[in-house]
Structure 1
């Protein structure tokens, strides 16, 4: 009898152990499922939520701009109101473009392209309305030679060449901007230091054989009509737009970079989103190579301290085939410049 009771006790113990092991296994499985769900929440949901939030906000801002564009005809009877009206719309479109630039690092490529096309369409609509409702004044550039420069007048053959094609788009997008910048120079070293505070838009336009150094942060940079120049730029917290450059070297960090009509130029980049090129040829890309005192802090404040590798992930909007675009390539390592230190603002810098 005692033996039978002992056997039953042993059997009960084994069953209890088996149930405990099964419960432990079940709890372990639940824990793994919970961790997997948490991982999915971290890796997927914020991106989806951010994209959805972006599209909702983008649509709202776009509708507001379109509504104000529609109001332009109704106030055209009072020309004095049109210019400030268009200025406000232009500012809103610029803000919308910056919003796309700041969000592009997490957006799918299709959404970035679609949003940028919408921004371009809004700009075109504004340009058309402005041309229709506000008569454009004729203007011309006048070159004045100061007394101190009278002994070093640049021969006409050495003056920067200013193409006139696409004049409507170029003047609206670049030359007509009232932002501070460097314009119409030949053979000079041009230095802008903004270490104390971030400035807004900055324009670099119509330069030939110049070296540009921008130390500190700017919100947006516009580069137009450069030939045989070197452009070294600290962090740009919004976007960089480059149009019509040839034989140049650029070193710049930005959230978004768009390049139009560039020829035989090298780009050393640190960028959050994929660089966009259009109507370009002979372009070569390499990682950011710039240095100056305090650049690490500036990059961190601008959200550009991390290396994304996007300098090598270039989107050519004019090349839709699956094979590599012939318009750009990776700059071979043995042809890259070393670190370029622009801390010394007194003389033309050499790569080290």
Structure 2
């Protein structure tokens, strides 16, 4: 006999299927009418990742393929958008949430479109309901050789926002001051960079990136088309990788939790503190064999607590030089096991 939880998941999956089909057809109609579909595609991507916690594996793959088709439509119109973005300069930031980034030039952002009703996660209905607030978003792009620390300013209590990081190289991005206000973190084309974020009750996606280290606590994590990435994560569901190589997973560094009193409080406030960390239960969508996927592994720290603290000291003491942090923490600066073979 099916459990109550299984029945609830099946019902939510059925509702999400109807929601997704409605949104997909709506986006196609907008595209046919020559309307901007970027925000709608982005919002549907967020909702899909939120639904991964209860969707069957087959449905996850099918919805992902459908979403890729919608992204292809978006890319066909991308040239004009890219030209407009490049005109803002190499450090453009759009912010409607009242957040500042040091070394950034701020400008108003546009409100996201409100989607059709989406089913709440069966076991996390309160969080899913909260995540439907799409009134604000911010982003940071074109950063090279900087240590960037997010700085909350005029924050509205309870407001949840999306964070977009794009085209960032050779930098340190510290989102911890605003992590409790992040709903979804989306990273695109990040290279030779450390991204550190405290826990938040949402999802994170990394695409088209290489030689990066990520530190974060989330409910869902997904990576696509990326190489040589170290992920120090507390993840409440199975992390997902697709078309990626040389990925290593490890738990959220205990030394960072113990040295940052805000982090401990945020783990509790986000609900992640009471949930098991599934960082070892990775699903590789491009590996269907019985043997373990060669595309990811568990990061093994061969040292004591003191050596672990020394490793993360540049982050604990943020006055340290960016070059020192990157030298200690980026994957390609560390010894890595040889790959058996590439993605099947």
Task: Tell me what 1:93 maps to.
Answer: 44
Query: How far, CA to CA, are the matches of 1:91 and 1:232 in structure 2?
Result: 22
Task: Tell me what 2:167 maps to.
Answer: 206
Q: Do residues 240 (structure 1) and 240 (structure 2) align?
A: no
Calculate the aligned-residue CA RMSD, in Å: 3.5
Deviation of the 1:242 alpha carbon: 0.6
Q: Do residues 259 (structure 1) and 220 (structure 2) align?
A: no
| Gaps in structure 1 of 5+ consecutive residues | 1-39, 147-177
- Of 275, 287, 311 in structure 1, the residue corresponding to residue 239 of structure 2 is 275
Per the normalisation by structure 2, the TM-score is: 0.65
Which one is further off, 179-188 or 137-146? 137-146
Deviation of the 1:209 alpha carbon: 1.7
> 1:239-293, CA deviations, whole angstroms, 9 ceiling, x for partnerless residues?
1111122222111111111112222221111101111112222222111114333
| Gaps in structure 2 of 5+ consecutive residues | 92-135, 329-344
Name the SS for the 2:273 alignment partner.
coil
Task: Tell me what 2:123 maps to.
Answer: none
Question: 1:111-150 to 2 correspondence within 5 Å?
Answer: 111-125=56-70, 127-128=72-73, 137=80, 139-140=82-83, 141=86
Query: How far, CA to CA, are the matches of 1:92 and 1:250 in structure 2?
Result: 23
Question: 1:103-182 to 2 correspondence within 5 Å?
Answer: 104=53, 107=54, 111-125=56-70, 127-128=72-73, 137=80, 139-140=82-83, 141=86, 179-182=137-140
Q: Do residues 183 (structure 1) and 141 (structure 2) align?
A: yes
> 1:132-165, CA deviations, whole angstroms, 9 ceiling, x for partnerless residues?
7x6953754369699xxxxxxxxxxxxxxxxxxx
Equivalent residues, number: 264
**RCO (CA 8 Å, sep 6+): is it higher in 1 or 2?**
2
Query: How far, CA to CA, are the matches of 2:246 and 2:46 in structure 1?
Result: 32
Question: 1:283-294 to 2 correspondence within 5 Å?
Answer: 283-289=247-253, 290-291=256-257, 292-294=260-262
- Contact 1:282-1:327 at 8 Å conserved across structures: yes
Query: How far, CA to CA, are the matches of 1:135 and 1:261 in structure 2?
Result: 19
- Contact 1:96-1:119 at 8 Å conserved across structures: no
Deviation of the 1:65 alpha carbon: 1.4
Task: Tell me what 1:304 maps to.
Answer: 272
Q: Which structure's CA Rg is the greater one?
A: 1
Q: Do residues 327 (structure 1) and 278 (structure 2) align?
A: no
Query: How far, CA to CA, are the matches of 1:328 and 1:131 in structure 2?
Result: 29
Task: Tell me what 2:14 maps to.
Answer: 56
> 1:58-103, CA deviations, whole angstroms, 9 ceiling, x for partnerless residues?
1231232144246447x73xx5xx23xx3564365145324314xx
Query: How far, CA to CA, are the matches of 1:240 and 1:60 in structure 2?
Result: 24
Distance 1:198 1:236, change over 3 A: farther
Per the normalisation by structure 1, the TM-score is: 0.63
